């Protein structure tokens, strides 16, 4: 036995797949009588066979031969345990429950086949290009469906150590809308700021920014109406916020903020319409070719 394992380790270095097969073969006592002679069986549990091609890739590179054998052993034992329990359960379920399970499996299989066919047809035939005009048109026609649930802003956020030089210059630059000033500000903040973010000049929820501040802002709506530049401090940092624009909750969201949502809605609507048309075409063609007979009892 020891000589066999030494040989097994040497073979491992040359061919890991062969090692796994041999180790499984040894541990499982593989029978040569199996249901499919074209496949290599490595274990049998009652009338069920486990084949080499059914064993997933379990062994990571660098795993020792002994550990690899143990992993395969454990997999076979789990497989056998499940098979024995399955057979016991199946044999002892009532005919009514077994029939119900068969019906559920057939229904699940039919749904899965239909789903995969629909998915294939969508990939091959459905128009998936959604233009800016498509999205803007949908937004215009359905604006009341895009009411904000929270306050949103376009803003610049800066977090600086208090000892940062030229602090007044930074305050001035942060208030400016001139591109050259913003470039200068970014250069300074690159050197000294703990955080500098304009959020790609996109809309963001105000909550995303307010959590960065040392003090809670209690009335967001009032704050946004009266504030374009805000400064706060704690014992470690200074915080600057420049608010470029804002929209309040319960108002219509700007198009840019809901653009991706609209794109998903349009795509999903197209998908549903495509599937409905596909099913109708299949059904109508089948009626023409084969007809439908309903037997009255």
Predicted confidence at residue 293, as pLDDT, reads 79
For residue 36, pLDDT over 80 is answered with: no
For residue 22, pLDDT over 80 is answered with: no
Q: Which residues neighbour 232 within 8 Å (Cβ) at sequence distance 6 or greater?
A: 213, 214, 215, 238, 239
Question: And the tokens for 139?
Answer: 């937004």
Residue 174's CB is within 10 A of a number of other CB atoms, namely: 20
| Tokens 């108002």 found at | 251
CB 204 within 8 A of CB 155: yes
Question: And the tokens for 260?
Answer: 């991706």
What does the pLDDT look like over 57-115, one tens digit per residue? 777 888 888 888 888 888 889 989 999 999 999 889 999 998 999 999 999 999 999 99
Question: What are the structural domain ranges in the chain?
Answer: 2-92, 95-125, 132-141+262-288, 148-247
Mean pLDDT of all residues belonging to the chain: 86
The arithmetic mean of pLDDT across residues 222-247, rounded, is 95
Predicted confidence at residue 268, as pLDDT, reads 96
Predicted confidence at residue 253, as pLDDT, reads 97
Question: And the tokens for 44?
Answer: 């049998």
Predicted confidence at residue 297, as pLDDT, reads 62
Residue 236's CB is within 10 A of a number of other CB atoms, namely: 10
Q: Structurally, what CATH architecture does the domain formed by 148-247 represent? A: Roll (3.10)
CA–CA distance from 173 to each of 20, 170, 177, 180 (Å)?
Answer: 67, 5, 8, 9
Question: And the tokens for 219?
Answer: 């009335």
Tell me the angle at which helices 132-141 and 255-290 cross, rounded to the nearest 10 degrees. 100
Q: Which residues neighbour 36 within 8 Å (Cβ) at sequence distance 6 or greater?
A: 49, 51
């Amino acid at each position: 036995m020891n000589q066999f394992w030494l040989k097994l380790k040497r073979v491992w270095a040359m061919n890991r797949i062969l090692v796994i097969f041999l180790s499984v073969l040894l541990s499982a006592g593989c029978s040569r009588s199996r249901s499919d002679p074209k496949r290599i069986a490595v274990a049998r549990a009652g009338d069920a066979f486990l084949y080499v091609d059914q064993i997933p890739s379990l062994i990571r590179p660098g795993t020792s031969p002994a550990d690899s054998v143990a992993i395969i052993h454990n997999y076979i034992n789990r497989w056998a345990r499940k098979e024995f329990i399955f057979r016991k359960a199946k044999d002892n379920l009532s005919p009514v429950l077994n029939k119900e399970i068969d019906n559920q499996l057939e229904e699940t299989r039919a749904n899965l086949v239909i789903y995969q066919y629909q998915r294939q047809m969508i990939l091959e035939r459905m128009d998936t290009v959604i233009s800016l005009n498509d999205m803007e048109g949908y937004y215009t026609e359905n604006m009341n469906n895009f009411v904000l649930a929270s306050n949103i802003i376009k803003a610049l956020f800066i977090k600086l150590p208090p000892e940062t030089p030229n602090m007044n210059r930074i305050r001035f630059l942060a208030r400016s809308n001139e591109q050259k000033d913003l470039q200068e500000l970014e250069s300074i903040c690159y050197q000294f700021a703990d955080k500098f973010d304009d959020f790609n000049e996109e809309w963001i929820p105000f909550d995303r920014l307010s959590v960065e501040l040392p003090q809670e802002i209690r009335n967001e709506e009032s704050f946004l109406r009266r504030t374009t530049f805000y400064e706060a401090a704690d014992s470690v940092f200074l915080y600057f916020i420049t608010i470029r624009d804002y929209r309040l909750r319960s108002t219509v969201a700007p198009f840019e903020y809901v653009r991706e949502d609209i794109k998903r809605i349009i795509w999903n609507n197209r998908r549903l319409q495509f599937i409905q048309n596909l099913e109708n075409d299949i059904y109508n063609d089948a009626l023409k070719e084969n007809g439908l007979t309903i037997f009255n009892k």
